[in-house]
Chain A
Amino acid sequence: MIKSSSWLTILGILPLLGAVLISALPKKSELNAKRIALVTTLVIAALTVAMATQFQRDNVDMQFVVSRSWIPSLGINFALGVDGIALVLILLSTLLAPIVVLAGWNEATGGRWSVKTFYILLLILETMMIGVFAATDVFLFYVFFEAMLVPVYFLIGGFGTGARSAAAVKFLLYSLFGGLLMLASIIALYVISGEQGGPTFDIGALSQLQMSSTTQNFLFLGFFIAFAIKAPLWPFHTWLPDAADAATPGTSVLLLGVLDKVGTFGMIRYSLALFPEASKTFTPVILVLAVISIIYGAFMAIGQTDFKRLIAYTSVSHFGFITMGIFAMTSQGISGATLYMFNHGFSTGALFLIAGWMAARRGSSKIGDFGGLQRVTPVMAWVFFFAGMSSLALPGLSTFVSEFLVLVGTYTRYPVAAVIGAFGIVLAALYILIPIQRSLHGPTTPGNESLTDLNVREKIAIAPVVAIILVLGFYPSPLLNVINPAAQHTITKAGFSDPLPTISAKVGK
């Protein structure tokens, strides 16, 4: 059996091993590269699930902890560990990875570089994704946070379509800018921790620091802006549609599905935990931004003419919900937000994969270029419809649970925000149904008559996504049980508790 402390390290190293294997292949063996990538990601997914079964649900401490001194002179440790929230996000990453490999079996061809390079980058990215969620050392987190940009940058710029290099640069610069602001805050934390008993980057130790409220506010902002850009929150969102538009579908799935979660994950793990007071101070502003994101993203999605951009904007809206849930500081809000992150990964991932397949078949991702697909490619159309329903949070599908939890959790503390945000529900119907009506329904338009339906590989790739969306819609407990203690712990540490029902307050009197 694997030692508890080795789990995370093994998970992190495996993709790199895969990458090394691939790089050792001869130049032309594309198929083997794909196979290795698939096998590696599958093994990692299986191992992650195995690890998850070892997770002690009611233990709020970090688990599978490993801590080695890395740069002792700066107090930096190679420290990994997961709580329920991180575990769920690692699961999301590792489960999505094989799906992306399988779904995008041919998307690496025609890129600027060899197919091998694509999978090497992808596997490196997987390591970074695991690392960024597992890091319990702020410095290590920052390293992963920034280093992650590099493979993504090359994945977008090297294998995307259209204005890929401009989009890649925009993505990179935007993220770098945020990251550097965060770096400034990290530096300050480091110095302050040095003044209060020895420099450290350990999250636990840092959350004990005494800071003046001004300092806290500034440092909070440094972290938060980085996360808001990553998430992306209005008005820091404009890189996302460009990037999602330019990237290959698989990359976009990881971008929207996992990478953006780093932002919202960071808000829970770092913004709330390290700066509870500042979080309180800024909550009104953040809620306003979140609500704007929800509504604005939805409207923007409605106004899009391109599938990929549309999906990107729906994500802006969804991230608004997630952020709102987080800063509601209720257990429902944070649990819901975490679950939302997981679910969004799959539902948006499915949307994007199918949009990618559609675009690959049609040679265009313009909504207007499609029409009547339901008659031509029924399976593809249905899966898209299904994913769309999931995206608009149809009850019975997984996203509903999380969206509703977020709304309920927000309502108990910030009713106005929740009510305005809830209007996103209506807009979601519009932004999903309008493209469905235009591309799947109606008469089959010229150019679409001979599109082929999903092949077996694609069906195999998408089936687990559909299954997860469906199962978690009815039975989210396996995840919620893992998330809940961590979420509760987070709000308790931040000095909050769930608001009681108003009647019990009355009864209490």
Chain B
Amino acid sequence: MLTFTAPTLSYFLLSPILVVLGGALLGVFAEAVLSRESRPSAQLTITLSTLVLALVQVWRIRDESSLSAAMGSVAIDGPAVLLQASVLILAIFSVFLIADQGSFTAMAAAIPGSPEEKESLQRGEKLTEVYPLTLFAVAGMLLFPVATDLLTLFVALEVLSLPLYLMAGLSRRRRLLSQEAALKYFLLGAFSSAFFLFGAAFLYGYSGGLTLSSIYDAVIGGTANSVFLLIGISFLSVGLLFKVGAVPFHAWTPDVYQGAPTPVTAFMAAATKVAAFGAMLRIFYTAFANAYWDWRPFLTVIAIITMAFGSLVAIAQRDIKRMLAYSSIAHAGFLITGVLALNKAGLDATIFYLFAYGIATVGTFGIVTLVRDSSGEVTDLNRWAGLGKRSPFIATAFATFLLAFAGIPLTSGFIGKFTIFSAAYEGGNKGVVVVGVLSSAIAAYFYIRVIVLMFFTDPEEDGTVVVIPSVLTRITIIATFAITIFLGVFPTPLLNFITSMATFIR
């Protein structure tokens, strides 16, 4: 007869995740008990305090290092803390944007154009379910980069994905597009997670265990030939690369970025990238580290294609959100070079880049929410003409974010690119560096085109205005702007912090 030993979970180490999950449950509960009118403010309070509390918890566990927080399913180490903190900070800013409820439909179930929809809008109802959904997604994102077995990874992947699928379909305006985005995101997401799972199966078959450490051990001392390992790595990568939007697994990105409500786009562009790359880093740096000879070539090719494709196709975009989507594809390529580096510098640089990029992304989409006409957000690039004249500060902030994306010095993006490319060079991937640099040159073109449009083209009288941002949105934009500049000029504190923290434990 089996004897059952009760599992030991370190609730302290898991507290960030638990806090967020708890907050989400509280949100669901509030949804049930509170009146419709009081929900928005209550939900916002719950969500923000949850996230802040979680951030505090992350800070409290910063010096911990443990593989046994959850029976070996979770590793708490430096990178974990950094990535979780990044996710939480980005989530807080995103929630600020989400709280500006102009972007969400009042009644998701109502048929677009139906009287119910109109009625609900007229009554000024709010879709407060977004908050708990966001928290669930955040919980998944917190877990994804710290999970150390394939099972937890898979569960975390789904926990972070499902709410996002839903949230993508909740746009207030152009709901057909939004629902279409949700459908596409969902179908492709499920498709790719099937690949992930299939890959996990083969890795399990190869190593005889589900944990990353068992894979690591099997790579070093296993008796099997590497076929299963390779199949496993490949298919697992398909799932991960899908999440980060690498070519050729990128196709969902522009459609979903465009269709989803802009605050959700901000959230998923910034935070999902952190989570997904965090997981990638952990998996490739720990489980697969010694098999780098097998995965590096194909990941190199993907990095190159991704950078080039993203930069190139962005040129042809006429919609600001689609353009940013392709830009995010290109950035995924740059980030993969950091994974490829497979050294400490690469780890540090990738984490820094993720944070810097995420901050700038949230800021960028925050500004996108502000440019509107009578029918909602204006994302047609041509109608952004003359924004610099209408609203110089917003335009300047936007230009700064774009310059950060382009990697112009004195912005965080430059430090990010510099560190990540130098890590890649150090890792021996000189070709990738060259392609990266050339892609940056191409990318500069379309960023600059937007700047030209904003500053050097005369505005058309087409009713496009920059609305006065709400306090929360304003905080988001100002804070992200400040961080972007600060990290460009004085990156040292953060770089040092990351360097001192970021070491994976196995």
Contacts and interface: CB of A to CB of B under 8 A. Distances in A.
Contacts of B430: 188
Interface stretch (A69-77, A90-98, A294-302, A325-333): A69-77
Interface stretch (A164-172, A204-212, A383-391, A426-434): A164-172
Contacts of A164: 456
Contacts of A168: 452, 456
A112 interface: yes
B308 to A, nearest CB: 14
Interface stretch (A17-25, A179-187, A305-313, A364-372): A179-187
Contact of B409 (A72, A112, A146, A181): A146
Given A173-B444, A188-B430, A146 B425 contact: no
B455 A157 contact: yes
B441 interface: yes
Nearest to B498: A73
Interface stretch (B266-274, B283-291, B298-306, B414-422): B414-422
Interface in A172-218: 172-173, 176-177, 180-181, 183-184, 187-188, 190-191, 194-195
Nearest to B392: A113
Nearest to B445: A173
B41 interface: no
Interface string A151-169: 0001001100000110011
Interface string A111-155: 010000000000000000000000000000011001101100010
Interface in A66-113: 70-74, 112
A150 B452 CA distance: 12
Contacts of B68: none
A188 B428 CA distance: 10
Given A147-B410, A157-B452, A165-B457, A180 B418 contact: no
Given A165-B456, A188-B430, A143 B409 contact: yes
B421 A184 contact: yes
A173 B448 contact: yes
Contact of B422 (A70, A149, A191): A191
A146 B415 CA distance: 13
A143 B490 CA distance: 13
A195 B403 CA distance: 31
Contact of B455 (A112, A142, A187): A112
Contact of B496 (A73, A143, A165, A173): A73
A169 B452 CA distance: 8
Contact of A169 (B418, B437, B448): B448
Given A157-B456, A168-B456, A169-B449, A187 B425 contact: yes
Nearest to A183: B437
A183 B420 CA distance: 12
Contacts of B426: 191, 194-195
Nearest to A69: B492
A261 to B, nearest CB: 20
B452 A147 contact: no
B387 to A, nearest CB: 13
B455 A176 contact: no
Contact of B495 (A73, A177, A183): A73
B440 A180 contact: yes
B499 A73 contact: yes
B491 interface: yes
B220 interface: no
The binding surface of chain B is classed by DSSP as helix
A375 B490 CA distance: 60
Interface string B385-422: 00000000000000000010011111000110111011
Contacts of B403: 150
A71 B352 CA distance: 14
B433 interface: yes
Contact of A184 (B408, B433, B456, B491): B433
Q: Most chain-B Cβ atoms within 10 A of its Cβ — which of A73, A74, A150?
A: A73
Contact of A180 (B410, B425, B437, B456): B437
A188 B457 CA distance: 39
B408 A150 contact: yes
B444 A176 contact: yes
Contacts of B440: 180
Given A147-B408, A191-B426, A172 B492 contact: no
B227 interface: no
Given A158-B455, A176-B441, A71 B492 contact: yes
Given A150-B408, A180-B438, A74 B425 contact: no
B434 interface: yes
B492 A72 contact: yes
Contact of A187 (B409, B418, B457): B418
Nearest to A146: B409
A165 B452 CA distance: 7
A181 B437 contact: yes
A418 B409 CA distance: 39
B118 to A, nearest CB: 43
B122 to A, nearest CB: 42
Most A CB contacts (10 A, CB to CB) among B422, B491, B495 go to B422
Contacts of B419: 74
Which interface residue of B410, B418, B445, B490 has the most chain A CB atoms within 10 A?
Answer: B418
A108 to B, nearest CB: 16
Given A147-B408, A150-B408, A165-B452, A191 B496 contact: no
Interface string B470-496: 000000000000000000001110011
Nearest to A181: B437
Contact of B456 (A112, A147, A181, A190): A112
Contacts of B492: 70-73
A156 to B, nearest CB: 10
Nearest to A174: B441
Contacts of A190: 422
Contacts of A154: 455
B422 A187 contact: yes
A451 B415 CA distance: 53
A109 to B, nearest CB: 17
A413 B336 CA distance: 49
Contacts of A195: 426
B495 A74 contact: yes
Nearest to A199: B422
A112 B386 CA distance: 11
Contacts of B415: 71, 74
A188 B437 CA distance: 12
A74 B418 contact: yes
A177 B445 CA distance: 10
Contacts of B414: 143, 146
Interface in A38-79: 70-74
A283 to B, nearest CB: 24
B434 A184 contact: yes
Nearest to A139: B418
A174 B169 CA distance: 42
B443 to A, nearest CB: 10
A154 B403 CA distance: 14
A158 B392 CA distance: 14
Given A74-B418, A74-B495, A173-B448, A188 B456 contact: no
Interface in A309-324: none
A118 to B, nearest CB: 14
A191 B425 contact: yes
Nearest to A156: B456
19 contacts: A70-B492, A71-B415, A71-B490, A73-B492, A74-B415, A74-B418, A142-B409, A143-B409, A147-B410, A154-B455, A157-B452, A169-B448, A173-B444, A176-B406, A183-B418, A183-B437, A184-B421, A191-B422, A194-B426
Q: Which 8 A-B pairs have the closest CB atoms?
A: A165-B456, A143-B409, A73-B495, A184-B437, A177-B441, A187-B422, A191-B426, A180-B437
Given A176-B444, A177-B441, 19 more contacts: A71-B490, A71-B495, A73-B496, A146-B408, A150-B403, A150-B408, A157-B456, A164-B456, A165-B456, A169-B448, A173-B441, A173-B448, A176-B406, A176-B441, A180-B438, A180-B440, A183-B418, A187-B418, A191-B422
